[in-house]
Structure 1
């Protein structure tokens, strides 16, 4: 494998430590995960952690019959491998099959939780695996007792996570110092394992919800493809250029032989032949004449009425002027011309 060739000169501890440092840098980075450089770092880190996982499996460091107290301090940290691989898998964006990525990440998180449970680091109840063959309605038909227990576990894990967050930061700073005691290293790794349990549970819930959406989307896409395949294709529309006379028809037809052209007369005749338009009859002609004369008659009536109103307004204005002159002699309003 390419990963084993690249990291074959590294010991298990060196490979894991480099992978852990790279993993923390990727998680703390503010760069968008879609960037090609970030994707390259994610893939490289995953290969390194996958190679470390192969070395752990070959060395048979863990057993279901052991407890966490029996595991050496130097070997406890390798239990973080599935959690880190699951978190990195979710950051991949250049993979064409999102459903495959989601399923892979769920396997990593489920393996992490199961191992922590086997070693007594947690007593959480793992959610049932998502089965794509089940109907959508059965996914939500959960026992109320189980739902209440899951809710209580989430609340408990959330409170524990808040308490451990500050402790983890303190233990991390202590482990950076020289000559760190083995007990301090062990306490930090165990606290980190417990801290990631609640995160893994949240990720599994989110992944199962996403899988429901992806399966529903794929199912609808398949149905849509079937509908499109069985649908009768309609005849494509072709452009029709309407020309004014036979001369333009010849000119445009000669220049654009691929475009069908016709004169106005030919177009009208084609419409009549197709039954879209109908030739006018005597009754239709009479109706059209009446419709044509009606607006003109209405216009004439309106004009006469308007003229009568103008004449009446003018007559009233002249009468008012004459009455004003009778009551007001010329020059009465001019004080300076009084004798």
Structure 2
């Protein structure tokens, strides 16, 4: 029997996941340009929701490498879509360099296909760099046969994809019925997964063609651009920030292909990069006032610091410190000669 916290996590996960899925569908079906402010807001909000759903899936320990598809609960099947949805939304980001965006999306897509391969929903073959085929040694007849087979495979995949989408639309109508049984829902989720498998494979093929172009453009840009005065900021990476090492182990188990780090590790990394202040080196050492954040990180109370300064001033007054007395007399003389409000003529000549 499930405990109350588990029920709360499941309900929250279901709500967040479907909010993110609705935003994905909204962005995918919109006629607005991808770089429009509204589309970009929806993309970023959808990514945030789906990342949160990913953390909840990891926390609930829904998936395991040792289980079969039949062992998955019907409502849990839909959460296999998370990396695919994150990949498609990430690929639509326009606020970062395109090369960086493509690389992050590729991580999500491959993670999705690794999972569907594990549940025997797909048989995607991940090519290694050394497995590239050398077509220069093939005869004209072999090259022609390859072209014919490739075209036939694409036509076959297109037909399968079209049939799956039609079947998905029919199942969706039945699923929206409040009396739909679990078997209908399971078929609906599995059909949705198979549709996304086709879409992700096509997207990876596009990425493989786009990456050499982006690498060439980046190389040309590096050659033409003047040397920057300061190093560029570190590239964006798909990371999951966790509260502590225990949660890091839990979240990391959910999506091992994505690097994870605790909050402390993340802060130390940013301090090393110079983006965050070092709590061990307060700004007072540099001659400036210490901020509240720096004082907190350094374990210093600004109120205690102020009390200490007032106490030092009183001690100097008791010792008749000449420098302090001269400064106080100069301040009193200035106030006598410059009464408050004298400088404000109220626009009168």
TM-score of the two chains, using structure 1 as the length reference = 0.57
After TM superposition, the structure 1 = structure 2 runs for residues 6-25 of structure 1, keeping only pairs within 5 Å, are: 11-25=12-26
The number of aligned residues is: 212
Tell me what 1:47 maps to.
48
Please give the alpha-carbon distance, in whole angstroms, between the structure 1 residues aligned to 2:180 and 2:203: 33
Please give the alpha-carbon distance, in whole angstroms, between the structure 2 residues aligned to 1:105 and 1:58: 23
Please give the alpha-carbon distance, in whole angstroms, between the structure 2 residues aligned to 1:50 and 1:161: 28
After TM superposition, the structure 1 = structure 2 runs for residues 68-107 of structure 1, keeping only pairs within 5 Å, are: 68-95=69-96, 97-107=97-107
Tell me what 1:112 maps to.
112
Tell me what 2:338 maps to.
none
User: What is the Cα deviation at residue 116 of structure 1?
Assistant: 0.8
Tell me what 1:187 maps to.
187
Tell me what 2:200 maps to.
200
Unaligned stretches of 5+ residues in structure 1: 1-7, 228-339
Q: 1:125 to 1:153 in 2, by over 3 A?
A: farther
User: What is the Cα deviation at residue 151 of structure 1?
Assistant: 6.4
Tell me what 2:223 maps to.
223
Q: 1:172 to 1:217 in 2, by over 3 A?
A: same
User: What is the Cα deviation at residue 127 of structure 1?
Assistant: 4.0
Whether 1:27 aligns to 2:20 is no
Please give the alpha-carbon distance, in whole angstroms, between the structure 2 residues aligned to 1:189 and 1:71: 12
Please give the alpha-carbon distance, in whole angstroms, between the structure 1 residues aligned to 2:41 and 2:53: 19
Please give the alpha-carbon distance, in whole angstroms, between the structure 2 residues aligned to 1:50 and 1:25: 18
Please give the alpha-carbon distance, in whole angstroms, between the structure 2 residues aligned to 1:66 and 1:157: 28
Please give the alpha-carbon distance, in whole angstroms, between the structure 2 residues aligned to 1:16 and 1:51: 8
User: What is the Cα deviation at residue 182 of structure 1?
Assistant: 0.8
Tell me what 1:166 maps to.
166
Hey, which bits of structure 1, 4+ residues long, moved more than 6 A?
142-145, 147-152
Per-residue deviation, residues 209-252 of structure 1 (Å, max 9, x unmatched): 1110111112223333489xxxxxxxxxxxxxxxxxxxxxxxxx
**Which secondary structure state, in structure 1, belongs to the residue aligned with residue 62 of structure 2?**
coil
TM-score of the two chains, using structure 2 as the length reference = 0.55
After TM superposition, the structure 1 = structure 2 runs for residues 151-300 of structure 1, keeping only pairs within 5 Å, are: 154-225=154-225
Contact 1:154/1:198, CA 8 A, preserved across alignment: no
Please give the alpha-carbon distance, in whole angstroms, between the structure 1 residues aligned to 2:214 and 2:117: 30
User: What is the Cα deviation at residue 88 of structure 1?
Assistant: 0.6
Contact 1:82/1:111, CA 8 A, preserved across alignment: yes
Q: Which moved more, 1:108-117 or 1:18-27?
A: 18-27
User: What is the Cα deviation at residue 126 of structure 1?
Assistant: 3.1
After TM superposition, the structure 1 = structure 2 runs for residues 125-136 of structure 1, keeping only pairs within 5 Å, are: 125-128=125-128
Unaligned stretches of 5+ residues in structure 2: 1-8, 228-349
